[in-house]
Chain A
Amino acid sequence: MIVELGHLALIIALCIAICQATLPLAGSQYGIRSWIALARPLARLQLLFILISFASLIYAFLVHDFSVRYVASNSNTALPVLYLISGVWGAHEGSLLLWALILAVWTAAVTVFSRSIPNNMVARVIAVMGMISTGFLLFMLFTSNPFERLQFPPLEGRELNPLLQDPGLAIHPPMLYMGYVGFSVAFAFAIAAMLNGSLDSAWARWSRPWTIAAWVFLTVGIVMGSGWAYYELGWGGWWFWDPVENASLMPWLVGTALMHSLVVTDKRGAFKAWTVLLAIAAFSLSLLGTFLVRSGVLTSVHAFATDPARGVFILGFLIVIIGGSLLLYAWRASTVKSSVRFEPVSRDTGLLLNNVLLIVLAASILLGTLYPILIDALGLGKVSVGPPYFNSIFIPLAIPLAWAVGVGPFLRWRKDSGQRLAKILIVPLVGSVVIGTLATLLVPPYFTWGALLGLITASWVLCSLLVLVIRQMSIRHLLSRFGRSQLGMLVAHAGIAVFAIGICLTSIYSSQKDIQLALDESYDLDGYLFTFKGAERFSGPNFNGFRGVIEVTEDGKMVAELHPEKRFYQTGMPMTEAGIDGGITRDLYVALGEETVGRRAWVLRIYHEPFVRWVWAGGMMMAFGGLLAVFDARYRRRRLAAAAVSATPIGVPA
């Protein structure tokens, strides 16, 4: 009964979404005030019904209603409550419902935090988001209904994939979706601005906090995914360039470019058409990710049960949304007049360079990800594009970007002088070479040129930030409500340096060893002595297995006691829970292999990963920096005043 209510609520939500997509839009176009006024209530109503729907699915999981096919496929009576709830979004249909819910949440947020935006603009934004909602709800109701009933319900449901039975993995999809879907707000603003007829810079000012917020969520989602892979998958790695991972990185890169481009459009009224294109691109890449995960065109460990028939539907949806918006772009963008002048050496150009590097990086990842399909489609056979390729591409593109990060904040708008910059930057340059070289000689166990390059680059970012603060900023301002944007920028850019240090040191200096150890036998890895202290049987709510004890000492002093586990779930699939001692300067990591028959010994895999936590710390710093920027009070106050000033385009057509 509750399940049918949920299904009905979904259908009602679709009807509301269709109204939301059409009426306010027509109202804006023809000046029908009553229809414009419908936008906010319709969006909120849609949220209500999708919430009802989502809640009823959670209910079905909690009461173990196995007559619902989705529940029977993704849960059983032995599953702990947390995973009954997170199992709701553990597979295709439920994750779509989560997408729809999060979209409704963002739309409702727009209805609340848009007081200072003209109503007809808000109406258009909400209408565009309503169109996207409609697409997803149609997709669900016609091809992927989570409420589908089974004619012969089983007595017991299937096991939820043990990989998903983890708190980190429970929260990772919602975070990612908040990011993907959040870019739809910037997208909707861009579309609304184009429909409005005047591609001015106001829309950029309004979009900025929304874009940054979405970007923060996406950053957190990606970091969580990487961290989870590290401790759950047992191979000590944290990024595999899997197509679905790439599908999250590409919108992130374009989203970063978008954030920076919005600054120029907001402050200088420049790059209006380009920023619109970026907004379309960021959201398009989010949708592309949805396609890649669910259509089966690419092989991925992350893929949901793939179904080319569903892929056709999603592709059709992509063509309508992306094709439609690009058509609109081709029509409207060509009427924009270039009216902003700037010199080759200026912040304007600098941010354009930032965009170029990020877009080329994203495009390269797209090329590599889709290349197998291209080659197959051309009948040239099958090719695999994996980490060796992506790593070779990423580094040459990321290093110039890191160097640009140091220069950028010093640049003046419109016109700057290379000489002035050189005089300022010589100090951090020398400082970074000195510090970087010293660090390379003192920190890693042996010298490599890669480490030198990486550490000098990271030092460059940090030194230039320091000089920036000392020369140009007031601490009081930074800590005030109006300085959060700047403070956020400093924190996020510092995060890049931290991230770079982590990647550099962990990829060059990690060690691993597979070894068989009997009781009290030891192995020395990079100065850490790992001693096997036995493994015992144990069990949990829905599994049984072994837990090992490994003592780690360094120079005779006890450093850590690790407890790797090997678990067997009902499906019989073995899972490792690695024993990890995390530290600021290194991680020590053990995974259980097999017990050796006859000899009471176990095969173990031991890792020493230096500075690996800096990878995620850097990512979280970037996210935190973004979060600070979202809450800059300037966004609240200046909106009213600024809206009046910049509503009219300024300048003589070129």
Chain B
Amino acid sequence: MMKHLLGLLFVSVFIITSALVSSPAMAAIEVHNFKSPENEARYQHLIDELRCLVCQNQNIADSNAGLAYDLRQKVYEMIQAGKSDTEILNYMVERYGDFVLYRPPVKGYTLLLWFGPFILLFGAVVLLIRFARQRKDLEVFDEAELQDIRTLLKQTSGDPK
């Protein structure tokens, strides 16, 4: 356990000192000239979807780390070269793995992630309906009804209560 923790510490130090420090405070702003506004929109969309691997959970659009800059340049170049969104994303995944995508791909191991919420919703609603139906048939009186009964009793028996 200690070994692992020390190892963790080592790696964290490496990440912090070796990579160019990313400041979340300065959005990386650079000018690119695109052949069309659609291309520019595609660029903005793609750099929002790609993760900066050396940052503390940022996409490459918001980070000014060196790696983020390189990846943005690559995306720009590929758009200019006429590559499609899929080709660009695949290019990144080939080199960095699925981790680089902020939208997890729908593969075997992410089925639970993508469908879980809806399965949960469906299941919960089914339970809700069953529960509500069950409650209809409870053979009890609730407070309001009991109050009515008490009032009736008071009126008929004349007992102060």
Contact = CB atoms under 8 A, between A and B. Distances in A.
Interface stretch (A107-115, A185-193, A247-255, A386-394): A386-394
Contacts of B81: none
A138 interface: no
Contacts of B19: none
Interface in B117-131: 117-118, 120-121, 124-125, 128-129, 131
Contacts of A378: 109
Interface string B12-36: 1000000001011111011110000
Interface in B92-138: 97-104, 109-110, 112-114, 116-118, 120-121, 124-125, 128-129, 131-133, 135-138
Interface residues of B, number: 60
A430 interface: no
B61 interface: yes
Contacts of A300: 56-57
Nearest to B32: A514
Contacts of A371: 104, 110, 112-113
Contact of B140 (A380, A576, A651): A651
Contacts of B144: 413-414
A299 B57 contact: yes
Contacts of A651: 140-142
A386 B56 contact: no
A344 B129 contact: yes
14 contacts: A232-B25, A233-B25, A309-B5, A382-B97, A382-B99, A389-B103, A414-B142, A512-B44, A574-B25, A575-B23, A575-B26, A650-B141, A651-B140, A651-B141
Given A397-B121, A650-B146, A651-B141, A389 B102 contact: yes
Interface in B40-78: 44, 48-49, 51, 55-59, 61-62
B56 A303 contact: yes
Contacts of A573: 21, 23, 25
Chain A interface size, as a band, is: 35 or more
A490 to B, nearest CB: 25
B98 to A, nearest CB: 6
Contact of B109 (A309, A380, A603): A380
Interface of B: 5, 8, 12, 21, 23-27, 29-32, 44, 48-49, 51, 55-59, 61-62, 97-104, 109-110, 112-114, 116-118, 120-121, 124-125, 128-129, 131-133, 135-144, 146
Interface stretch (A142-150, A208-216, A334-342, A442-450): A334-342
A593 B113 contact: no
A119 interface: no
A153 interface: no
A387 to B, nearest CB: 6
A242 B57 contact: yes
A239 B63 CA distance: 16
A387 B102 contact: yes
Contacts of A296: 8
A597 interface: no
Given A268-B143, A364-B120, A382 B31 contact: no
Contacts of A552: none
Interface string A344-355: 100011001100
Contacts of B112: 367, 371
B103 A388 contact: yes
Contacts of A384: 51, 98-102, 104
B57 A301 contact: yes
Q: Which 6 A-B pairs have the closest CB atoms?
A: A386-B102, A593-B29, A388-B103, A364-B117, A234-B27, A341-B138
Nearest to B64: A574
A163 B138 contact: no
Interface string A259-286: 0000000001100000000000000000
B2 to A, nearest CB: 9
A385 interface: yes
Given A352-B128, A364-B116, A375-B109, A339 B142 contact: yes
A413 B135 CA distance: 13
B120 A363 contact: yes
B62 A381 contact: no
A428 interface: no
A356 B25 contact: no
B143 A235 contact: no
Contacts of A303: 56
B24 A388 contact: no
A359 B27 contact: no
A591 B51 CA distance: 22
A512 B110 CA distance: 33
B110 A341 contact: no
A501 interface: no
Contacts of A367: 112-113, 116-117
A389 B101 CA distance: 10
Contacts of A269: 142-143
Given A364-B120, A368-B113, A386-B59, A340 B131 contact: no
Contacts of A330: none
Contacts of B44: 512
A652 interface: yes
A119 B124 CA distance: 39
A367 B25 CA distance: 29
Interface string A298-342: 111101001011000000000000000000000000000011111
B130 to A, nearest CB: 10
Given A381-B98, A383-B104, A360 B30 contact: no
A382 B146 contact: no
B29 to A, nearest CB: 3
A353 B135 CA distance: 15
Given A339-B142, A514-B32, A382 B25 contact: no
A360 B25 contact: no
B125 A356 contact: yes
B62 A235 contact: yes
A446 to B, nearest CB: 14
Nearest to A645: B143
A397 B124 CA distance: 13
A349 B128 contact: yes
Nearest to A274: B131
A78 interface: no
Interface string A516-548: 100000000000000000000000000000000
Nearest to B41: A511
B103 A574 contact: no
A594 B12 CA distance: 30
Interface string A174-189: 0000000000000000
A68 interface: no
